[in-house]
Structure 1
Amino acid sequence: MSPLPWLLVILAACCVESYKVLVVFPFPGKSHAILGDGVVRLLLKAGHEVTYITPILNKKPPPNLHQIDVTDNYQMFVNNKDMINIAQFFKVKQQMTIKSLFDFMFQMHKMTFNNPNVQRLCKDPKQHFDVIIGEWMFNDLYSLFSTIFQAPFIWVSTVDPHWMALQLIDQSTNPAYTADIQSNSIPPFTFYERVQQLVYQIVGYGLKKFYAAKYEQEIIELVKPLIQYRGHEVPDFEELRYNSSLMLGNSHVSMGSAMALPQNYKPIAGYHIETDIKPLPEDLQKLMDNAKHGVIYFSMGSNLKSRDFPDEVKMGLVRLFGELKQTVLWKFEEVLPGAPSNLKFLQWAPQASILAHPNCILFITHGGLLSTTETVHFGKPIIGIPVFADQFINVERAVKNGFATKVDLDFNMVEDLRVAITEMINNPSFTKRVKELSFIYHHRPVSPGAELVHWVEHVVKTQGAPHLRSPALDVPFYQKTYLDLAAVLLATIYVVFATLKFICKRFLCSRGKISSKNKKNN
């Protein structure tokens, strides 16, 4: 055999630059792990060496993947068990407040930095990285890793562009036409909604600036010894938080709106979806192939459990699905008795493979951003049943974009769902619209995965991509809002007014004296 092919392979391998990357995705949730796994998978495929801080471990990691175990972070959900319990949302119609969200995230960040495995990683003098990629979750503290390892930092925003995240690389969005992530309103806003968005932003900024500061300082004090241990100076955190190189966003205009975004924000929604869709299990493949009237897929995501629905709602849904001529796949943690023949329970559902099947005609979902991304990717209309966090605004956007119907999570949801299913199946405009958006989603110069790898490598090759840094980060708030100009104008007006008042007073006073003198002479 000719040695030429082997020589070419060796030469090609030598030409590939391999970087050492630290990926920080320690949130104890499957959906977040999917996004973290997507980053890792793409970087490994590109030939880079990855160290991965994660609560969900790969049992057979490849040679160039080093996992840092933070499974202890799951204790967060043990301590906050009602946070993702559907039954609780039937009792209390209230979303998590921004304050409670801050509290939860700070607990998780503290657990991550306190984890012995993370401490060992940070203290190991042999550990060096070319770039660090961290998940932004309503907290900026993972940027401390860039100081520990003296490497450029990239944020991954797992939600649609959010003012609190964007201010780290540019400036906050205008609340007059940009919705807060916890809102259920979408632009154009009414007067009340516009005021509401402004209040959301002011309250969020105030809480982050004053309430969150003490928690941030607590964790900074925790991390200080790690920075000093490696012989580095502890930076001012206010400067550090705005020193990231780039933000990779799990967003795309096909699912949101055409926002004004800075140069160092790169929308790469869908990067977590593998290009080669895995085949369905044989029994599921046969079931979907033989579904003459199509398949309806129902899933409340990876964190919410269908078993937590109240019994009357569960049984009502079973009866409803039994009335349909379509085959229904329900991601459920157990098998309910008395299920009709057209209803199949799936404890584990290969969601991408199900949505990719041509016989899947409708997706009933909680409205998580991964699910709404996948439905546009595969061109399937949805019925959204939002429960908490960004699910409300994700579903509202889908409704506005014309490929979804919303059903509220309450005791009337079975009847509301019956109406929604009938409407979605009998109205082809929903499918037509999502196919149009799917074309827009796919019609990109390169795939989102290729773009992710490109920008990570770009940051390393340009030593932090300072050319993408927004000048807005170097302009104080009072200058951005022209408060200094307002102060000068007010001072000028005051001086002019005071001068005129003084002149008038002197003039009137002198006139008064002249008048009095004339009267006296007369």
Structure 2
Amino acid sequence: MWNPVLFLLTILTTVSFSNAYRILIVAPTNSKSHAILSEGLVKHLIEAGHEITYIPAIPPDKPLPRVTVIDVSDIVSPHPDEFLNVKDFMDRKFDLDVATGFIPYILAFSEQLLDHPNVQKFMADKSQQFDLVIVEFLFNTIHAGFSGLYNCPLIWFSPTHPNWMVFELIDEATNPAYSVGRLSSNVPPLNFKERVLELGNFIMEKLIQMVWISKSDKELYEKNFVPLIRERRTSVPSLETLAYNGSLVFSNYHQSLSVGVRAPPNHISIGGFHIDQNVKPLSQDLQELMDDATDGVIYISLGSNIKSKHFPSEVKRDILEMFGKLKQTVIWKFEEDLPNRPSNVHILKWAPQQSILSHKNCIIFITHGGLLSTTESIHFGVPVIGVPAFYDQFLNVERAVKMGYGRKVDLSYKIATGLDLAIQEVLDEPKYTAKVHELSEIYHDRPVPPGKDVVYWVEHVIKTRGAPHLRSPAFLTPWYQKLYLDFALVLLILVLVLKFAFRHKFKKNDLCNERNQK
């Protein structure tokens, strides 16, 4: 028997799935915060009906619909869990900078990921086809090879604040006179000393990129991608061609989080896209705890990499003693039980951070200064006290201080004293809360939520076959033309020709005069 309702539902379902695209997402950074961001991309795209193949350094906690995960979780991290020990940072035993820490880590993990049997099997499967590849960019471009393998458009995803390496993918490196590197703690506008330091850092990082990172990337590309591309097509693009042919960059950034940046049209700001539009409710006991905190809640978390349990015992004692003198309720994300704590201090081994920050009684967020945490503080309108340890945390906290919604405390053995002073200032000075509320209004005043922006631009790139109309003319202009060296060469040739002509003319006149005199 013909059922019109069933027929209509069938047609609608068919139409819906006919617009679904196959998308490959590669997230090669072995860090929980980066996994949260890449999973945010996955979730927005599957909610839009697309089919995702996902290569994550850290796999999702539970299966996701229409997501095929290429599991590489058995790769041994170059940095074990205990590597980022808070006590080591306090003792200044090492400084995790670009050359000694992050670049070797990124390059080593990239090689292990591509060599993994599951990835090798996946890449060798000629039945795999994709409409788009999305790749996280941190320092290297090797995973742009996937767009060459599947002959499809590429979107870069940058998890950090905009910097010259990111802009170079789609435009040109920004001028260090008004922009800073990804690990710099300087905040534009820059004074003379800061401009000189940024120029020096830019030159150093550029040299590292040219002589180290690019060399490693090319070797991995020749080994892992070139043979497979040759099996599928006659011509093999260079890795440089693929890396700098990205349609656009998704940037984990928003103007309310920092100073403005000079950006081309295909630099798309999606800062805050990882935050749930509908925050999950708190557990009953935590809800009651925060509801009853009439003097407010101070929430402290040092993120997923740095663990509070590694604080020296005397530092834990000092912090607890300081917290015990406060009227406020303190919720501390702490990885183990903490005995002899004051009655106003509550321990959570795992904390639903967004749900806590969204509660009206949360008045201060003590954070390590990760970009996800500082973004969430503005999203929910909670002033911060930053205790940075490494990477971009210093920059994020410095920006919070300069923008007026945060204080900075050094990670040292006197951290309890620093926290005490910072907490009292934020409590006594309403300007911090007022400023973060102002920034939160700017943050939320968008045409659409950032998650919808992600879906729109992904579909736009696929529909327009790579969105070539968004390409910056600066990116398409050779460096020698930007410097007018071709024009200078023409002028030089013209001057030489005129000089030769005049010399020849004068020499000819001199000869004529000599003959006439004779």
TM-score by length of structure 1 reads 0.91
User: Is this contact kept in 2: 1:55–1:74, CA < 8 A?
Assistant: no
- Partner residue in 2 for 1:162: 163
Counterparts of 1:60-139 in structure 2 under 5 Å? 60-78=62-80, 82=83, 84-92=84-92, 94-98=95-99, 100-139=101-140
Structure 1, residues 362-398: CA drift from partner, whole Å, max 9, x if none? 0000111100111111011000111111111111111
User: Is this contact kept in 1: 2:22–2:50, CA < 8 A?
Assistant: yes
Structure 1, residues 69-125: CA drift from partner, whole Å, max 9, x if none? 1113452223x953x222221122634134642222111111111111111111112
- Partner residue in 1 for 2:285: 283
- Partner residue in 1 for 2:15: 15
- Partner residue in 2 for 1:179: 180
* Among 436, 449, 452, the residue aligned to 1:450: 452
Quick check: 345-354 or 103-112, which moved more?
103-112
Structure 1, residues 285-322: CA drift from partner, whole Å, max 9, x if none? 11111111110000011111111222222221111111
In structure 2, relative to structure 1, the CA distance for the partners of 1:324 and 1:493 (3 Å cut) is farther
Q: Does 1:344 align with 2:342?
A: no
- Partner residue in 2 for 1:418: 420
Q: Does 1:397 align with 2:394?
A: no
CA-CA distance at 1:409 after TM superposition: 1.2
- Partner residue in 2 for 1:517: none
User: One-letter code of the match for 1:462?
Assistant: T
- Partner residue in 1 for 2:219: 218
Counterparts of 1:487-498 in structure 2 under 5 Å? none
Structure 1, residues 226-285: CA drift from partner, whole Å, max 9, x if none? 323444633212222111111111000011122121111110111111111111111111
User: One-letter code of the match for 2:9?
Assistant: V
Quick check: 26-35 or 493-502, which moved more?
493-502
In structure 2, relative to structure 1, the CA distance for the partners of 1:342 and 1:225 (3 Å cut) is same
CA-CA distance at 1:474 after TM superposition: 2.2
Distance 1:448 1:201 in 2: 31
SS at 1:69 equivalent = coil
Distance 1:415 1:137 in 2: 36
User: Is this contact kept in 2: 1:86–1:304, CA < 8 A?
Assistant: yes
- Partner residue in 2 for 1:321: 323
SS at 1:72 equivalent = coil
User: Is this contact kept in 2: 1:227–1:234, CA < 8 A?
Assistant: yes
Distance 2:137 2:244 in 1: 13
Counterparts of 1:319-398 in structure 2 under 5 Å? 319-398=321-400
- Partner residue in 2 for 1:472: 474
CA-CA distance at 1:492 after TM superposition: 6.8
CA-CA distance at 1:493 after TM superposition: 7.2
SS at 1:409 equivalent = coil
Distance 2:267 2:291 in 1: 41
Distance 1:478 1:98 in 2: 30
Distance 2:286 2:193 in 1: 49
Cα-Cα RMSD: 2.7
Distance 1:310 1:221 in 2: 48
Structure 1, residues 26-57: CA drift from partner, whole Å, max 9, x if none? 32111011001101111110011111111333
Distance 1:502 1:313 in 2: 86
In structure 2, relative to structure 1, the CA distance for the partners of 1:8 and 1:315 (3 Å cut) is farther
CA-CA distance at 1:483 after TM superposition: 3.5
Quick check: 324-333 or 230-239, which moved more?
230-239
User: Is this contact kept in 2: 1:180–1:197, CA < 8 A?
Assistant: yes
User: One-letter code of the match for 2:174?
Assistant: T
Distance 1:347 1:252 in 2: 31
Distance 2:401 2:47 in 1: 36
Structure 1 residues not aligned, in runs of 5+: 508-512, 514-522
Structure 1, residues 112-162: CA drift from partner, whole Å, max 9, x if none? 111111111111122111111111111111100001111111111000111
User: One-letter code of the match for 2:339?
Assistant: P
Quick check: 182-191 or 228-237, which moved more?
228-237
SS at 2:255 equivalent = coil
Distance 2:91 2:494 in 1: 59
User: Is this contact kept in 1: 2:388–2:410, CA < 8 A?
Assistant: yes
Distance 1:190 1:183 in 2: 14
In structure 2, relative to structure 1, the CA distance for the partners of 1:350 and 1:231 (3 Å cut) is same
Distance 1:422 1:491 in 2: 70
User: One-letter code of the match for 1:285?
Assistant: Q
Distance 1:389 1:500 in 2: 62
SS at 2:398 equivalent = helix
- Partner residue in 2 for 1:43: 45
* Among 272, 288, 291, the residue aligned to 1:270: 272
Distance 2:395 2:262 in 1: 19
User: One-letter code of the match for 1:365?
Assistant: T
User: Is this contact kept in 2: 1:155–1:244, CA < 8 A?
Assistant: yes
User: Is this contact kept in 2: 1:26–1:70, CA < 8 A?
Assistant: no
Distance 2:314 2:481 in 1: 58
User: One-letter code of the match for 2:74?
Assistant: D
In structure 2, relative to structure 1, the CA distance for the partners of 1:421 and 1:499 (3 Å cut) is farther
Distance 1:298 1:381 in 2: 12
User: Is this contact kept in 1: 2:77–2:109, CA < 8 A?
Assistant: no
SS at 2:286 equivalent = helix
CA-CA distance at 1:22 after TM superposition: 0.7
Percent of aligned pairs with the same residue?
Answer: 46
Distance 1:31 1:103 in 2: 19
Distance 2:505 2:466 in 1: 60
Structure 2 residues not aligned, in runs of 5+: none
User: Is this contact kept in 2: 1:364–1:382, CA < 8 A?
Assistant: yes
Distance 1:121 1:47 in 2: 23
SS at 2:257 equivalent = coil
User: One-letter code of the match for 1:137?
Assistant: L
User: Is this contact kept in 1: 2:142–2:218, CA < 8 A?
Assistant: no
User: Is this contact kept in 2: 1:396–1:406, CA < 8 A?
Assistant: yes
User: Is this contact kept in 2: 1:28–1:74, CA < 8 A?
Assistant: no
Quick check: 369-378 or 255-264, which moved more?
255-264
User: Is this contact kept in 1: 2:113–2:119, CA < 8 A?
Assistant: yes
User: Is this contact kept in 2: 1:99–1:207, CA < 8 A?
Assistant: no
User: Is this contact kept in 2: 1:27–1:73, CA < 8 A?
Assistant: no
Distance 1:87 1:497 in 2: 71
- Partner residue in 1 for 2:203: 202
In structure 2, relative to structure 1, the CA distance for the partners of 1:453 and 1:495 (3 Å cut) is same
User: Is this contact kept in 1: 2:331–2:348, CA < 8 A?
Assistant: yes
Quick check: 154-163 or 222-231, which moved more?
222-231
Counterparts of 1:243-262 in structure 2 under 5 Å? 243-262=245-264
Distance 2:61 2:95 in 1: 38
CA-CA distance at 1:443 after TM superposition: 0.6
Quick check: 94-103 or 353-362, which moved more?
94-103
Q: Does 1:193 align with 2:194?
A: yes
